[in-house]
Amino acid sequence: MEKFRAFAEFETFYAQFKPLTPQGRLYREARPFFTDAAALKAEYDLAEALAAFLDGARHKADKLRFHLRNIPALELSSGALSGAPGLFLARKFLFNASEIFRLLPAPLRARFGVKWASADLLALLNKGGHGEAFHISDAYSGELAGERAAIAACDPVLKQLREKRLKALRERWGLDFSERDFLVVDEKTSAKLGGAQELFLEPFDGGHVTVKPVYGQEYMEVASERDRLRGCEQELEAAAVKKLAAAVLAEKRNLETYAQALEKLDVAAERARLAAELKLVRPLIRKYHSPIKLAKGRFLPLESRLAAAALKYTPLTAVFAKRVSVIYGSNMGGKTVALKTLAFNQLLAQSGFFVPAASFETCLFDGAAFIGGAEMETAGGLSGFGLEMNDFVTAHARLKQGSLLLLMDEFARTTNSEEAAALLSAILEDLGGQASATAFLATHFSGLKAGKAAASFKMRGFDTAAFNEYFSGRAACGLGEKLKMINKFMRYELLQGGEGEEARDAIKIAGILGVGKAIIRRAQDFMEDKK
Amino acid sequence: MDFIKGLRDRTVFIVGSKKNAGKTTFLNYALNRLRGGGGLGALSVGVDGEPQDQVFGNPKPQVRAEKGDLLLCAETALKGADLHCELLNVYPFRTAIGRPVLVRALRPGRAEISGPENNEQLAEVLADMRRYGAGTVLVDGAVDRITQVAAGGKAAFVYVARVEPENLDSSAAAIKLLWSASTVPLCRAGEKLPEPVLIIDGALTPGRLPAKDVKRGTLVIEDLTKIFLSWQQWQELRARFELRCGARPDLAAFVINLANVSRAEFEKRLASPALAERLIYNPYEVTR
């Protein structure tokens, strides 16, 4: 599947799928591939329903995104709830969840499985909060308020005693501690301070002494009392935390249900956003095996690359009625892009997304595999050809486990054409006889014997007449312009038929790309001789 | 002008020459001095794990907060802290000592500050602190985090050094290098510079110095926090090249804590009266 995803350049799309909640991000990491039509329909329905709700309602969409972004990860263990941070997160989760649910009309809430039943718990947690802030407030315990009032009474006394002592030290010894906890003085100065009861001295280095104020008995008594009160306060806070944690844990099931609903909402909202921004449509899923019908299917990664280079992009329209399809065509004629477009749309559809097409009718496959692009690879002593054969054996074995969408791009291109054609013909015939196989082969080999179960297609290819008319008297210069030239006159359309026809554009393309005129003419002579 | 007042309404990274150079002590001093002029925030980057402040031999100083101060503390450190506070955010990123929690003190108290582990997280925390009203944010930097300064946009930094007889020469060299690097002009668009113009992305280490046969030209470095050269290598580089930098974090001050070293000895090693004038010696020291 990874190779299939890579071939379809799926990551370029998936990188734009950015759920906002931790729950949604976990879903994203799981990379679901739907093989169950009912489950996939449910995903499509949710995205469609949310899209309809948010359509044109910018304010609602912004509000939804704001609260989704503020949903924290939910940890509902007693350990995670043993302190104020855990409760802060529980409140933050509930607050944002409630705002999101309130935003949705009742029928939509029901579709996402939301039954809000935590108003009391949120009200309890809100006693410790205002805005986004939360603390173990006095409202959780009458005693807490008392302890805190007592601590609050200590603080000004301590401050007063401290200031009084610092003033005395300033007046008697000339030491200003007002912005410092301690001072460093030289030995000569420290010698004069030796007997001072209100100062604590200790060595700093060989020539200096650290001096700290000693605040006196009364200060120590108040500070000690404050420490005792703080201890009591901490105990009361811990008891309040325990009660609040118990209240949260009592609603664990509700919170988990909300988390599931938020995951669905987040994912559906992201899918709806992508559908609107990238002009995606809902695919039509038929039973296996049904014809695959793609109308103006776009391969988004290429479309954006071409747009950046100011080149035209041709969407793909095709009906693949049979389970085995062979796509013939010349070099740079768009065979691989046709396969990629199909793979891209199918992957999006089975990953729960709408697709970039005018319409897309397809069926679900239990798996997908891609074989190709191995000519530069070697692994475990296998050549590119060896790797392709190995991949085919693996894919073929999967046919016993369920339906498989198998894409093969220039399969066996690295071996001699005679043997390659024979091998391909045999493989196509075999796949035609396997009900679980739906295969697409793009090749520039001509005259394959694919059997009755296979359909043939060809890329329309290079428009020589238009090229000659345009090109007369002009000279292409850099590679960019040459590519533009090919792009301008290559007709990236898929036509029915083509079996037995040879692709005849390679020499023209070589000419455009700068191969010498003499060589091109000679090559054309050879072609004529062969005829 | 009192340099401390110049730190107001900025993000100030307090970086040190080594562990226990006195950064947190200076941070507390700066917090005291900056009170009454808008919201204050404090956090650290990196945890150095030393229980004691070796400059002054005290237990590692905690940050003393007044009501309204914003602190970033580790979840675990909050439990034992003498700090009554409200929680403003609990960050999802985990550090070795638990999740960072942004708190606002509800009354005076003390706590150990903590920090995020990378620049992206740091940016998020700083943005939150600003959102919750912090005008000045002090960032206690770990020894190897001087590079964090570069992530702080218009941030300033204070370099705190503990100078002892054992590190007298190396401390003086490090300070001279920083001082010298802080004077490298910014690279400006359209400026005509001596060719060849060599651009060093990331750290400038001895291994990335241009070959000896390149005798002149311009060397563009990211910022002074990316220079990992000795003073001698830096001097040689300055002699060969016109230098420019991509960013210039403001070096607000050098705070020098001398231990068993006299000012005269240290300034003799610096051999730069102009630099000596910029030094702030132990702000806790009483001179008579």
Query: In whole angstroms, what is the distance from residue B141 CA to residue B146 CA?
Result: 7
Query: In whole angstroms, what is the distance from residue A166 CA to residue A160 CA?
Result: 10
Its CATH class, for the domain covering B5-177+249-281, is alpha beta
* Residue-wise pLDDT tens digits, B78-124: 887 889 999 999 998 877 778 899 999 999 998 988 888 777 888 88
B16-21 mean pLDDT: 74
Q: A501 vs A79, which has greater pLDDT?
A: A79
Q: What are phi and psi of A320, to 5 degrees?
A: -105, 95
Decide: residue A50, CB within 10 A, 0-12 exposed, 13-18 middle, 19+ buried: buried
Share of chain A above pLDDT 90, in %: 54
Give the best-scoring range by mean pLDDT among A268-282, A417-431, B80-94.
A268-282
B284 contacts A184? CB cut-off 8 A: yes
pLDDT band at A14 (very low <50, low <70, confident <90, very high): very high
**Minimum distance, in Å, between the CA of residue B90 and any CA atom of chain A:** 6
Query: Which residues does chain A have within 8 Å of residue B88's beta carbon, measured at their own beta carbons?
Result: 132-133
Q: Residue B76's closest chain A neighbor by CA?
A: A83
A132-151 mean pLDDT: 93
Bridge partners (DSSP) of residue B79 are none
A317 touches chain B (CB under 8 A): no
Residue B149 pLDDT exceeds 50: yes
User: In the CATH scheme, what is the homologous superfamily, with its name and number, of domain A280-476+490-503?
Assistant: P-loop containing nucleotide triphosphate hydrolases (3.40.50.300)
ipTM: 0.83
pLDDT, position A372? 84
How many CB atoms are closer than 10 A to CB A1? 13
User: What CATH fold (topology level) applies to the domain A17-118+251-277?
Assistant: MutS, DNA mismatch repair protein; Chain A, domain 3 (1.10.1420)
Query: In whole angstroms, what is the distance from residue A253 CA to residue A258 CA?
Result: 9
Q: Please check whether residue A410 is in contact with residue A442, taking contact to mean a CB–CB distance below 8 angstroms.
A: yes
Q: Which one, of A407, A371, A375, lies nearest residue A391 by Cα?
A: A371
A281-293 mean pLDDT: 94
Residue A76 pLDDT exceeds 80: yes
A480-493 mean pLDDT: 67
**DSSP state, B207?**
G
Query: Which residues does chain B have within 8 Å of residue A75's beta carbon, measured at their own beta carbons?
Result: none
A72 contacts B86? CB cut-off 8 A: no
B89 touches chain A (CB under 8 A): yes
pLDDT band at B157 (very low <50, low <70, confident <90, very high): confident
Each domain of chain A, given as residue ranges in start order, spans 17-118+251-277, 142-219, 280-476+490-503
What's the pTM value of the predicted model, to 2 decimals?
0.82
Query: In whole angstroms, what is the distance from residue A24 CA to residue A259 CA?
Result: 9
Residue A61 pLDDT exceeds 70: yes
A191 touches chain B (CB under 8 A): no
* Residue-wise pLDDT tens digits, B216-254: 899 999 888 788 899 999 999 999 999 998 887 788 889
pLDDT band at B276 (very low <50, low <70, confident <90, very high): confident
A277 touches chain B (CB under 8 A): no
B260 contacts A151? CB cut-off 8 A: no
Sign of the four-CA dihedral A401, A403, A406, A412: positive
Residue B6 pLDDT exceeds 70: yes
pLDDT band at B142 (very low <50, low <70, confident <90, very high): low
Give the best-scoring range by mean pLDDT among A468-477, A502-511, B26-35.
B26-35
A207 touches chain B (CB under 8 A): yes
B284 touches chain A (CB under 8 A): yes
Three-class secondary structure of residue B55 per DSSP:
coil
pLDDT, position B72? 94
Written as one string, the DSSP assignment of B62-117 is PEEE-TT-EEEEEHHHHHT-B--EEEEEE-S--BTTB-EEEEEESSSEEE-----S
Each domain of chain B, given as residue ranges in start order, spans 5-177+249-281, 184-245
Residue B55 pLDDT exceeds 50: no
A88 contacts B90? CB cut-off 8 A: yes
Q: What share of chain B is helix, strand, coil (3-state, %, to 5)?
A: 30, 30, 40
